[in-house]
Chain A
Amino acid sequence: MKPHTDPSDSELLQAMLAGEERALAALYRRRQGGIYRFALQICGSQALAEDVTQEVFMVLIRDGHTFDPTRGSLNAFLVGVARNLLLRRLQRERFYVPIEENSDSDADTHESFLTTGGPLEDLSRLETINSVRTAVLALPERYREVVVLCDLQEMSYVEAADVLSCAVGTVRSRLHRARALLIERLRPAPEEQASTTVNSARCFA
């Protein structure tokens, strides 16, 4: 839990708009991770996620006064800006980078997560995580957004609706459909199951 003395996002924003560099630094350190991960989960490209993260805070520096706290949280505002930037960039560049390109950098991060179990179990988890990320990236845009926001970013339906500028019911229905698609895509193919059985039988034969 944060110390009680921590200023809120709005306070930091006001201080930043007043010219305090430290307020910007604090705000950036607090929110950059979520923005970066959101961008990475949406586009799958580290370079693009970095660009978008930087651009989001540039927008905040330039047009931070346009933020209206009555319309939602600053985090939702920033994620919304990131979403708009991503959509623009993706439409312009069709910049879909396979997840394998990030395998080297991901491996370092994986180690922090895979602290339990043996190497074979870790390998299996890695494969599962990669397949899930690939399946999320393969979702249609509107379904991918809600999965990233509600499941990966752990936002509430209301927050996600603020980011997407749509109704809560729309978020729910899209999430329902998106999860059904993910289950369908992550389910192993019947041939794969059959071949596994045959191979096992041969091994034991």
Chain B
Amino acid sequence: MNCQDFEIIVNELARRQMMQADVREQALAHTGECEVCALRLADERVLTQQLCAVTIQMSEMEAPARIETELLAAFRQNKFTNQSTRRRPSAIQDWRYWVTAAAAVLLIVIGIAAMRSRPSPVAAENPYVPTIGPDVAYIAKPSDTVVGPKPISSPEQGATLASYKPRRHANALMAQSNSANSGSGRETSLADRNTTVAANYGANEIATDFLPVGYTSPMNLQDGGQVMRVELPRSALADFGLPVNMARVNERVKADVLVGPDGQARAIRFVQ
């Protein structure tokens, strides 16, 4: 046996663990030849004795008696609790199940109600989508909220104008319908619709807000006017700050031009 082999078994040798008799004899014989290994075994034996002394010293140590008393009391309480509420977990689970189900149903109902009460996301985000039914015109004060619809009394009077403050323009704008006999008595608040008002002439037309032309003031617009359908180059959209598809820049786009009593254009809206 060499020193390396001896080092492997020195613990077992010092701790008097079971090992093969011939291995033990070889190890002891090695300690007679190697002084270092003999000292190593002596150190290990001393440590074993010291640890044995600690073990013996602590062998009588026990937990205090009060712990047993407390444990037995806890055991009795636990046993009582288990017996009295053995079916309780399932009851709790049932209760939680029904509460969760009721909450889910409530959330669905609230969600549906919220969906119905708000405008469609397309209309809210796209100013080209009309939010007012066809053939309705409004007179509005130059404020953020349009007070309500007012039908045009007769076609001869021309278009009755509505002015309001749009999202992107500080100037007052107008909305008008060329149809005079519809929408009577119907009131719609537009404050919660981002003040986007557009009249839809045809069934499938989409119009922008009225955009002021030149430096027309709202006061002049209240005098009345007339809406005329025209066609303009698509590049005209850029003049009013609207995005232009450069691939279709040569195409023409429909527009409604509000002409004042003096025959001058006051506002314009683009129709698609």
Interface, chain A (partner B; CB < 8 A): 16, 19, 21, 24-25, 28-29, 32-33, 35-37, 40-41, 49-50, 53-54, 57-58, 61-62, 109-110, 112-113, 125, 128-129, 132-133, 136, 147, 151-152, 154, 172, 175-176, 179, 182-183, 186-187
Q: B44 to A179, Cβ gap below 8 A?
A: yes
Is B70 in contact with chain A by the CB < 8 A criterion?
A: yes
With contacts A152-B51, A176-B11, A179-B44 known, is A41 near B58, CB below 8 A? yes
Q: A19 to B61, Cβ gap below 8 A?
A: no
Cross-interface CB contact of B60 among A112, A132, A179, cutoff 8 Å: A112
B155 CB, min distance to chain A CBs, angstroms: 86
**B interface residue count range (under 10 / 10 to 19 / 20 to 34 / 35 or more):** 20 to 34
Is B74 in contact with chain A by the CB < 8 A criterion?
A: yes
Q: A151 to B63, Cβ gap below 8 A?
A: no
At the interface, is chain B mostly helix, strand, loop or mixed?
helix
Cross-interface CB contact of A54 among B15, B55, B58, B70, cutoff 8 Å: B70
B142 CB, min distance to chain A CBs, angstroms: 68
B53 CB, min distance to chain A CBs, angstroms: 5
Residues from chain B with a CB closer than 8 A to the CB of A179 are 11, 44, 47
Q: A32 to B47, Cβ gap below 8 A?
A: no
How many residue pairs bridge A and B at CB < 8 Å? 95
Cross-interface CB contact of B55 among A16, A25, A62, A154, cutoff 8 Å: A154
Q: A132 to B63, Cβ gap below 8 A?
A: no
Q: B57 to A110, Cβ gap below 8 A?
A: yes
Is B203 in contact with chain A by the CB < 8 A criterion?
A: no
Q: List 9 A-B contacts (CB under 8 A).
A: A24-B71, A25-B68, A32-B67, A49-B63, A54-B71, A58-B74, A110-B57, A179-B44, A186-B47
Interface, chain B (partner A; CB < 8 A): 11, 15, 43-44, 46-48, 50-51, 53-64, 67-68, 70-72, 74-76, 78-79
| A175 to B15 CA separation, bound complex (whole angstroms) | 11
Cross-interface CB contact of B71 among A19, A28, A36, A132, cutoff 8 Å: A28
With contacts A57-B71, A58-B71 known, is A40 near B61, CB below 8 A? yes
Residues from chain B with a CB closer than 8 A to the CB of A110 are 57
Residues from chain B with a CB closer than 8 A to the CB of A53 are 63, 67
Residues from chain A with a CB closer than 8 A to the CB of B74 are 58, 61
Residue of B nearest to A106 (CB): B57
Residues from chain B with a CB closer than 8 A to the CB of A133 are 54
Residues from chain A with a CB closer than 8 A to the CB of B11 are 172, 175-176, 179
Interface centre among B11, B15, B48, B50 (most CB of A within 10 A): B50
Q: A54 to B51, Cβ gap below 8 A?
A: no
| A33 to B70 CA separation, bound complex (whole angstroms) | 16
Q: A36 to B63, Cβ gap below 8 A?
A: yes
Q: Please give 17 more A-B residue pairs, beta carbons under 8 A apart, in addition to A28-B68, A37-B59.
A: A21-B72, A24-B71, A37-B58, A40-B58, A50-B64, A54-B63, A58-B71, A128-B53, A129-B57, A132-B54, A136-B54, A151-B55, A152-B58, A183-B44, A186-B47, A186-B50, A187-B43
Residues from chain B with a CB closer than 8 A to the CB of A50 are 63-64, 67
Residue of B nearest to A175 (CB): B11
Residue of A nearest to B82 (CB): A19
Q: A151 to B64, Cβ gap below 8 A?
A: no
Residues from chain B with a CB closer than 8 A to the CB of A112 are 60
| A186 to B49 CA separation, bound complex (whole angstroms) | 13
| A21 to B79 CA separation, bound complex (whole angstroms) | 9
Residue of A nearest to B67 (CB): A54
